[in-house]
Amino acid sequence: MEQAVLNHIDTYGYFAIFVAMLLTGTGLPLPGEVTLGITGYLVYSGQLEMLPAIAVTALGDLLGAAISYGLGLYSRTKIIAQYFSFLIPTESKLLIIERWLNQYGIFTIVFGRLLPVIRGAIPIPAGFVQMNGKIYISGIFVSSFIWCGALIYLGTGLGHNWQQLAGLGNSIGLTAAGVLVITILIGYWLFCAKK
């Protein structure tokens, strides 16, 4: 798989990494860390430039997430509900998602999209509960540039050992998840202490 991704990027350059990240951004189970690691390696080897690589991957990720958000937004229609019912959360889950997004909005999007497993599960529910599009896109914009920039930078630093990035990406995600949980607990504790 890694060799196939490397061959496509080597042949098609920035267009290939844009398409790969667009597909990853939609929530498809594709290894974005591999694409970003390879991109970092190609920056390291001088075949790609750092800033255009970050911009192209982040914009691909953003467009993919926007497509999934749109799918969620319009999944209340009969056709999508009929053929893609597995994408539609239950009513109780929708209420939880809606409350969470209304309360924490952009922070949920930014931090959630920095977590490897959660990042693909955010767009469709955000669209389905009709989260404000400007807030959603703003959060995706920020998180895409952070995620893609950080992993390309790490891939550049790893050089020929860029394959280590897949495992490192999971470690970064777990660390970010831990920080998020601690932040929420501290916020909850401070909120309860005021009462």
> Given CA atoms 114, 117, 120, 126 in this order, what sign does their dihedral have?
negative
What is the total count of domains within the chain? 1
pLDDT, tens only, 65-118: 999 899 888 776 555 556 555 555 566 766 777 777 777 778 888 887 877 767
In which domain, by residue range, is 161 found?
2-194
pLDDT tens column, 158-191: 777 777 766 655 555 556 656 666 666 676 676 6
User: In Å, how far are 44, 59, 129, 189 from 145, measured between CA atoms?
Assistant: 19, 8, 25, 31
Mean per-residue pLDDT over the chain, rounded = 79
pTM value is: 0.74
Instruction: Name which of 179, 172, 178, 180 is nearest 37 in CA terms.
Output: 172
Length of the chain: 195
Contact 98, 126 (CB under 8 A): no
Residue 22 has pLDDT above 80, yes or no: yes
Helix (H) or strand (E) holding 57: helix 50-73
Residue 153 reports pLDDT greater than 60: yes
Mean pLDDT score, 17-34: 87
